[in-house]
Structure 1
Amino acid sequence: MRKHVLWLVLASFWACAPGSYHLTNRTAARIGVDSVTAATDSSVANFLKPYRQGLEKTMNEVLATSTGSIEKGLPDAPLNDLLTDALLKQATQRYGKPIDCAHLNYGGIRDNLPKGDITTGSVFEVMPFDNQLVVLTLTGDMLQQFLNHFASGHGLVMSGIRVKIHDKQVQAVTFNNGRTLQPNETYTLALSDYIANGGDSADFLQNAVKRENINYLIRDALIDYFRQLGKAGQPITPTSDGRIRIE
């Protein structure tokens, strides 16, 4: 049973002239609201019933299964790798061209994924925000700045690259697609609009070479990815490949 508390505040005012009021008295009363004191309005409950049933059906859809719980962590963890790999794959499909790497802000990953059934509701718990997927084109210098920025304290969560971090600075970058990080070359990065807009103090990203909005919620990208795994009969085995290493 859930119980909520409301505070009712009553104030009395005295006016001595038009538009002039002075507080003369104030009283407060504590009112408990729970399933005992607040009876269910059957008309409202009946009105909401089909919507509630539809929502429960959607949230309880099993997308995929996992052989173990999938947890986040730093500097690297199974959930970090799984979500960014999913994001990179889905972003590439939606973008229609190869993307060099993908990023998720560590603080935006709000929960772990359970062992067993992974439902739509599970994904909502992990990613409750309506963040859009954005593709930025960055110079090598700016991508290096980006990596150093998140390695220095925000948590670096990436797909498409492997890095070594020393003294909170990225010392080595290896791309999965065989590219090397060169200061004057350009690279594509899939990430949330929150970070692209300067979130987590990444204001410098507003000077990106190019920004492309691909009209795809990050949460929807994850749901699509897990659904594809489920339809293919591919269970998830939680693993971390050590792509982010601190030395």
Structure 2
Amino acid sequence: MKKLLFITLLAVTLCGCRQQFVWERTAMDGSRTGVQACSASDVAEKLGTYSDGVYTAPDGKVFSEGCTPEVARILLESQETMADLKTVIARSTRAMVTSYPECELGDWFIDELMRAAERKSGKKVDIGITNFGGIRVDMPEGVVLKDDIMSMFPFKNNLCYLELYGRDIRVILEQLASTSWQVVGGARCVVRNKVLESVEIGGEPLDDDKIYGVATISFLLDGGDGLRIAKNAVRLDIYDEYILDVMMPYVESLTAAGKPIEYQTDGRITIINDGEKETLRR
């Protein structure tokens, strides 16, 4: 009887404490409004305007009810704090996307990384190695915002200069060939059925006993993406500059010189699988 009474009291208590939820339906307009991604100078044109509880969309539609005006207000008010990121810093002649095994965006990135390592070290850089994963977004066609470049290279990976014997570079390239190829500059490589068949650096076959200058990023020095590029390094310099500190000034320098962002692949990597050749050429 006591047990039954306890269970009854518990049930009554739980029922009495049950929370009541009240749901409200808010009208939202799901039709197209003409909103587009904007830069710092065309907010009203691309996002529309808001005044006294009324939102006017870029296509002329007017919203005064539901949550659309409030959402628009928040979005528009945030643009001032985002103005610096929305600054147009360059123009690209066409979209450049990351693709395996070689792409315009990857070549553009690694070639500038090599030049930056040369400037910083004062030494000749013969080969550059970085990873596809370090390029987080593609290059848009046309207007390029500061935010595009910051989003492209968001990681705090340092610019590095190393000196390695040719035999150690060969081991690294053999690993890339057998697993997943990455972004390589300064070398021409042929991979057949996941085996490194040939390597040329500076137009000459890779010399196992020669010391080469190498540009890379700190992420790949000791384990990033399975690589340990710093293993057996004769010399290793890790600079304070992050990759963004290299690429942003480069993009700005192109604009200052009146040049757009554009690049072409050069067939530096040829991958042959089961008799089918995959290569990118001019």
TM-score range, shorter chain: 0.7 to 0.9
Q: Secondary structure at the match of 2:116?
A: helix
Q: Could you say which structure has the greater relative contact order, defined with CA pairs below 8 angstroms and 6 or more residues apart?
A: 1
Which residue of the partner structure matches residue 212 of structure 2?
Answer: 187
What is the alpha-carbon distance in structure 2 between the residues aligned to residue 133 and residue 208 of structure 1? 15
Question: In the TM superposition, what whole-angstrom CA distance separates every residue of 1:98-120 from its partner, at most 9, and x where no partner exists?
Answer: 21111211122211110012222
Which residue of the partner structure matches residue 114 of structure 2?
Answer: 88
Q: Is the 8 A contact 1:70 1:78 kept in 2?
A: yes
Structure 2 residue 226 is matched with structure 1 residue 208: no
Deviation at 1:151, TM superposition (A): 2.4
Q: Is the 8 A contact 2:123 2:213 kept in 1?
A: no
Question: In the TM superposition, what whole-angstrom CA distance separates every residue of 1:186-210 from its partner, at most 9, and x where no partner exists?
Answer: 1111111010122111236333222
Match of 1:239 among 264, 270, 274: 264
What is the alpha-carbon distance in structure 1 between the residues aligned to residue 176 and residue 19 of structure 2? 48
Which amino acid is the alignment partner of residue 253 of structure 2? Q
Which residue of the partner structure matches residue 98 of structure 1?
Answer: 124
Q: Give the TM-score taking structure 1 as reference length.
A: 0.74
Which runs of 5 or more structure 1 residues have no equivalent in the other structure?
A: 1-26
Which amino acid is the alignment partner of residue 154 of structure 1? S
Deviation at 1:81, TM superposition (A): 0.8
What is the alpha-carbon distance in structure 2 between the residues aligned to residue 158 and residue 123 of structure 1? 20
Deviation at 1:172, TM superposition (A): 1.7
Structure 1 238/163 Cα, relative in aligned 2: closer, same or farther at 3 Å?
A: same
Deviation at 1:179, TM superposition (A): 4.8
Structure 1 28/171 Cα, relative in aligned 2: closer, same or farther at 3 Å?
A: farther
Question: In the TM superposition, what whole-angstrom CA distance separates every residue of 1:18-56 from its partner, at most 9, and x where no partner exists?
Answer: xxxxxxxxx9999x9xxx7xx99xxxx9xxx99x84x63
Report the aligned-residue RMSD.
3.0
What is the alpha-carbon distance in structure 2 between the residues aligned to residue 129 and residue 145 of structure 1? 26
Match of 2:137 among 111, 116, 120: 111
Deviation at 1:62, TM superposition (A): 2.7
Which amino acid is the alignment partner of residue 240 of structure 1? T
* Seq. identity, %: 28
Which amino acid is the alignment partner of residue 140 of structure 2? P
What is the alpha-carbon distance in structure 2 between the residues aligned to residue 242 and residue 114 of structure 1? 23
